[in-house]
Amino acid sequence: MVQVPTGSGPDQVSAAPRSARRAPIPRVGRERPTGSNFELYSWYFFRVSGLLLILLAVTHVVIMHVVNTVDEINYDFVVDRWNSPFWRGFDWLMLILALLHGLNGARIAVDDYVRPRGWRVFAHSVLWSAAIIFLIIGSIAIVTFNPEAVVTAGR
Amino acid sequence: MQVHLRIQRFNPEVDSKPYYEDHEVEVEPTDRVLDALNKVKWFHDGTLTYRRSCAHGVCGSDAMRINGRNRLACKVLIRDVGTNITIEPLVGFRVIRDLVVDMEPFFNAYKSVLPFLINDDPAPTTERLQSPEDRERFDDTTKCILCACCTSSCPITWTNDEFVGPAAIVNAHRFIFDSRDQGAAERLAVLNQKSGVWRCRTVFNCTEACPRGIQVTRAIEEVKRTLLTGDVS
């Protein structure tokens, strides 16, 4: 005789609330559902920063290699260019976006392919540290660059 | 015509690792690869093991790697793959024997996206009617036969067993965009994890592999966009 487990007959099924009716859902992988939107925003940032970087990088290449030549680009050229807050902002935006876009890509590659937890933490630490250090060094250069100070220091 | 089959064999009770076995069989150009496999099994070596059921591209049992591509053996004609045919089990899954792989992780991922109608309204006495336009919205993803060609072709699933895989997302898509369904939020919460849609790298292997012609990558991107905008229409 087939034994019907209590509570799973047709009558009980229709009477029970939906949440109780549903079989337990197998959780995929080891991660807990966090409810965090980090990956969503990371994906969106990837798309937006990628589009902006195409504009910024193409403009950069045109200015540096088409309109001007490498021979003309020297210290005075940079001084002249960075006199304008617009170009400082332009270069800073390019730095931020390129670094974070690259960091995001490398972070994803590490997540996909570095499976041992210890190595993954190590790789993430190196990535984030390098990105933050470059971000700080680059930002200091762009924000604090002052040609007059260099001149008075006896260039 | 004479074709040369190179089939990956593995018997866990005897072999320490998989090996290839060669067979020459006589088939028609209009025969399917499955017919060639049947000839081997019925007339050469009865121990050759593979799954097949309907043999007409509907049940999804005989997905395998044919000349390096994930195909249904019952849908690929001999004349389209040439006379030298290499047949291997789907990659990314544990091989149980010969061409049979363990589909348990695949179906667990499938179950995790709640692939059934969720609707708390009192059940109507007739069908739940839907306009042709509403039906069209998810028509493409209703075609899935759960053969695992897409999931096995995805490079992320080769290295990462946490990813739900394209097939599960396709089947979530089928209900998320169904106007009769009310469980979109629950499914989107599952897919909004790192191991959900966000592991997809838009490689397009899944779309290329699908024997039903489902635009798999498109479906995945639609789910991603819905997570961003919250618009399930």
ipTM topping 0.85: no
List of residues 6+ apart from A34 with CB closer than 8 A: B193
Count CB pairs under 8 A between chains A and B: 60
- In this prediction, residue B82 carries a pLDDT of 93
Categorize the per-residue pLDDT at A7 as very low, low, confident or very high, splitting at 50, 70 and 90. Answer: very low
CA distance A42 to A24: 31
A24 contacts chain B (CB < 8 A) = no
Interface with chain B: mutation pick from A13, A28, A43, highest number of B CBs within 10 Å = A28
**Lowest-pLDDT choice from A142-146, B16-20, B36-40, B142-146:** A142-146
SS3 breakdown of chain A: % helix, strand, coil, rounded to 5?
75, 0, 25
Stretch B71-82: mean pLDDT, rounded? 96
CB contact (8 A) between residue A40 and residue B228: yes
CB contact (8 A) between residue A31 and residue B195: yes
* Closest residue on chain B to A114 (Cα): B159
The pTM of the whole model exceeds 0.80 = yes
Categorize the per-residue pLDDT at B161 as very low, low, confident or very high, splitting at 50, 70 and 90. Answer: confident
Interface with chain A: mutation pick from B114, B116, B228, B229, highest number of A CBs within 10 Å = B228
| A114: pLDDT strictly greater than 70 | yes
Q: What burial letters (b/e) apply to B114-137, b meaning 16+ CB within 10 Å?
A: bbeebeeeeeeeeeeeeeeeeeeb
Stretch A32-59: mean pLDDT, rounded? 90
- Asked whether B150 and B64 are in contact (CB, 8 A), the reply is no
Summarised one tens digit per residue, pLDDT across range B210-224 is: 999 999 999 999 999
Write down the domain spans for chain A.
38-145
CB contact (8 A) between residue B162 and residue A28: yes
- Please tell me what DSSP assigns to residue B28: -
- Asked whether A109 and A99 are in contact (CB, 8 A), the reply is no
CA distance A127 to A107: 7
- In this prediction, residue A146 carries a pLDDT of 84
Summarised one tens digit per residue, pLDDT across range B7-39 is: 999 999 999 999 999 999 999 999 999 999 999
- Asked whether B112 and A26 are in contact (CB, 8 A), the reply is yes
Tokens 């070596």 map to which residue? B45
A29 contacts chain B (CB < 8 A) = yes
- Asked whether B186 and B118 are in contact (CB, 8 A), the reply is yes
- In this prediction, residue A4 carries a pLDDT of 41
| A1: pLDDT strictly greater than 50 | no
- In this prediction, residue A113 carries a pLDDT of 87
For residue A111, list chain B residues with Cβ-Cβ distance below 8 A: 194, 199
Categorize the per-residue pLDDT at B109 as very low, low, confident or very high, splitting at 50, 70 and 90. Answer: very high
CB contact (8 A) between residue A31 and residue B194: yes
Stretch A68-90: mean pLDDT, rounded? 90
A30 contacts chain B (CB < 8 A) = yes
Tally of CB atoms within 10 A around B19: 11
CA of B96 to nearest chain A CA: how many angstroms apart?
21
Summarised one tens digit per residue, pLDDT across range B183-197 is: 999 999 999 998 999
CA of B124 to nearest chain A CA: how many angstroms apart?
14
**Which class is domain A38-145?**
mainly alpha
Q: What percent of chain B has a predicted confidence (pLDDT) above 90? A: 95
**Lowest-pLDDT choice from B15-24, B140-149, B193-202:** B193-202
Categorize the per-residue pLDDT at A147 as very low, low, confident or very high, splitting at 50, 70 and 90. Answer: confident
CA of A17 to nearest chain B CA: how many angstroms apart?
9
CA distance A112 to B31: 40
| B198: pLDDT strictly greater than 60 | yes
CB contact (8 A) between residue A39 and residue B118: no
- Asked whether B87 and B5 are in contact (CB, 8 A), the reply is yes
- In this prediction, residue B160 carries a pLDDT of 85
| A148: pLDDT strictly greater than 90 | no
